[in-house]
């Protein structure tokens, strides 16, 4: 999503200099290398415009934007771990969770297949930090994971889950997510383990996102990461031996389930410090009469009241994993944060909240220096994207020059791949192609040196290289609120203070 300063006034540290007129450039055509480059799809362009001030866009684009905007999800508990001290073990925390976190489809199962109403992103914004992900291996060759609840296809892929988690952790790097990954309906543990290791961790490059350890970490060791927990089959990370689990799910009566929840809560509160993570599933099903929704309607209000009644800042309850975690009133609807908030309250929140982070942003100084630093809003971080003929590009797409907003200097790539600053010229060395990625970021491909992409390390160094992994070659274009729109060009992954 393009981020815009909607106030109409300069952001902190931002120059208020009046922008120059757009450069008028000879539109002579360049002789460009023949490249197989993907085109930006219309729906991707519209998604990029989500959140942009419609007055800054061409009339046609503004009309489409108005018809495609979606309401924002509340973010009341999106940063709650930021105030929990680094040295606290995950075992000594109180953590909201969901059972069958992706099970939102189940119409043909008479209510027995559906366990949640809300998306992963909604759950994370609500404060949920334990996700229960059930996967089925499908496809030939390397194979992939589809999300299932038993026989019921949940119409999403494991990669979709990872994308939502990665985006959340990029924006909220003081948080961590505990994720239990398990197999369902595949019945081939060897294939399942191979897909996870070879396809997701290695080929798709998701290894960086996970903390895969065999001991319970402290929160400070795993901020910004997914803590992997696996069973059936075990694929690394924490296993069942690291948990004290209550999961009386199969055909209990309501009173039997309440007794099981209470017993586990009482033991969790009484155990200090904890050597295992207490994991208390409040979910159950009892066909043919009582669905997961029926149990949640009775259990969620009860669990909320119990957690509130035993509140003690010196005590913790471990993970409480619920069905329909947003439903906390017996006859009420969804959308409630109450249960998650009550669990979150039972933590040590004595750590001062760190200052807001800033994305590492590209800068181009008047002396020709190019680098990256945490965003300041200064004029050397403001850029225009100009097309082949020099015209202003409103939406990032296609072939572009990257030009300073305040003079006629542009990024230039030498034949050896070195990034320099040169006067704007009608040369291929100053042209780049924006390659859209599935996660919303862009690669910036050099035209004069095919196969090389612009990178920016977290240290601030900038250059080009063949693209072997995405972390330092993934970029975000954040629109400035200016009379003539310009962009900050920022790392998708790297942040600073």
Retrieve residue 442's tokens: 């862009």
Judged against a pLDDT cut of 90, whether residue 213 lies above it is answered with yes
At 334, the pLDDT band (50, 70, 90 cuts) reads confident
Judged against a pLDDT cut of 80, whether residue 244 lies above it is answered with yes
All domains in the chain, ordered by first residue: 42-65+355-496 (2.80.10.50), 80-345 (3.20.20.190)
67 against 125, higher pLDDT: 125
| pLDDT score at 289 | 84
At 368, the pLDDT band (50, 70, 90 cuts) reads confident
Q: How far apart are CA 104 and CA 131, in angstroms?
A: 14
142 against 84, higher pLDDT: 84
Closest CA to 317 of 414, 405, 244, 423: 244
pLDDT, average across residues 123-145? 93
Closest CA to 137 of 88, 76, 198: 198
Side-chain-side CA neighbours of 163 within 13 Å: the count stands at: 12
What confidence tens digit (pLDDT) does each residue in 390-438 have?
788 888 888 999 999 988 899 999 999 999 999 999 899 999 999 998 7
Centroid of chain to Cα 31: 40
Q: How far apart are CA 211 and CA 467, in angstroms?
A: 24
Q: How far apart are CA 327 and CA 493, in angstroms?
A: 34
pLDDT, average across residues 279-306? 94
How big is the CA angle at 33 (ends 31 and 24), to the nearest 5 degrees?
45
pTM of the model: 0.72
At 341, the pLDDT band (50, 70, 90 cuts) reads very high
DSSP letter string over 296-358?
A: HHHHHHHHHHHHHHT--TT---EEEEESSTT--SSS--S---HHHHHHHHSS---SPPPPPPE
Residues 6+ apart with CB under 8 A from 459: none
Most confident of the following: 17-21, 49-53, 167-171, 300-304: 300-304
What confidence tens digit (pLDDT) does each residue in 82-120 have?
999 999 999 999 999 999 999 998 766 677 889 999 999
| pLDDT score at 484 | 64
pLDDT, average across residues 216-243? 96
Q: Name the least confident of 94-108, 279-293, 408-422, 479-493.
A: 479-493
| pLDDT score at 231 | 86
206 against 142, higher pLDDT: 206
| pLDDT score at 482 | 60
């Amino acid at each position: 999503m393009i981020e815009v300063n909607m106030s109409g006034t300069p952001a902190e540290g931002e120059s208020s200099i009046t922008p120059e007129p757009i450069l008028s450039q000879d539109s002579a055509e360049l002789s460009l290398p023949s490249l197989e480059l993907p085109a930006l799809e219309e729906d991707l362009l519209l998604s990029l415009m989500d959140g942009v001030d419609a007055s800054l866009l061409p009339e046609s684009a503004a009309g489409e934007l108005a018809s495609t905007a979606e309401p924002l999800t509340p973010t009341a508990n999106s940063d709650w771990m930021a105030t929990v001290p680094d040295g606290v073990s995950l075992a000594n925390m109180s953590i909201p969770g969901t059972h069958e976190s992706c099970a939102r489809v189940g119409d043909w199962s008479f209510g027995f297949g559906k366990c949640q109403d809300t998306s992963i992103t909604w759950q994370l914004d609500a404060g949920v930090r334990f996700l229960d992900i059930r996967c089925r291996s499908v496809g030939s060759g390397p194979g992939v994971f589809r999300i299932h609840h038993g026989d019921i296809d949940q119409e999403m892929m494991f990669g979709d889950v990872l994308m939502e988690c990665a985006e959340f952790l990029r924006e909220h790097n003081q948080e961590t997510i505990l994720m239990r990954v398990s197999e369902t309906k595949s019945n081939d543990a060897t294939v399942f383990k191979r897909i996870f290791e070879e396809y997701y961790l290695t080929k798709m490059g998701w290894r960086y996102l996970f903390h895969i350890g065999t001991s319970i970490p402290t929160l400070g060791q795993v901020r910004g990461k997914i803590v992997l927990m696996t069973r059936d089959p075990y694929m690394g990370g924490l296993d069942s031996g690291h948990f004290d689990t209550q999961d009386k799910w199969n055909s209990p009566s309501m009173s039997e389930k309440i007794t099981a929840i209470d017993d586990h809560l009482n033991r969790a509160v009484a155990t200090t410090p904890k050597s295992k993570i207490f994991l208390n599933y409040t979910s159950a099903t009892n066909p043919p009469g009582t669905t997961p929704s029926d149990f949640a309607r009775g259990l969620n209000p009860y669990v909320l009241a119990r957690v509130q009644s035993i509140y003690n800042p010196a005590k913790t309850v471990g993970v409480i994993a619920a069905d329909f975690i947003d439903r906390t009133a017996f006859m009420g609807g969804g959308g409630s944060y109450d249960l998650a908030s009550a669990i979150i309250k039972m933590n040590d929140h004595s750590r001062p909240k760190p200052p807001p982070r800033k994305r590492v942003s590209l800068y181009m100084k008047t002396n020709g220096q190019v680098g990256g630093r945490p965003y300041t809003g200064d004029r050397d971080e403001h850029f225009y994207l100009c097309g082949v003929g020099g015209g202003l590009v409103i939406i990032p797409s296609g072939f572009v020059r990257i030009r300073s907003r305040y003079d006629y200097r542009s990024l230039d790539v030498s034949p050896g791949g070195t990034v320099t600053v040169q006067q704007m010229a009608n040369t291929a060395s100053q042209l780049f192609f924006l390659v859209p990625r599935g996660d919303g970021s862009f690669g910036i491909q050099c035209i004069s040196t095919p196969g090389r992409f612009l990178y920016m390390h977290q240290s601030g160094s900038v250059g080009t290289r063949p693209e072997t992994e995405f972390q330092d070659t993934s970029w975000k274009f954040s629109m400035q609120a200016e009379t003539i729109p310009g962009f900050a060009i920022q790392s998708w992954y790297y942040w600073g203070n």
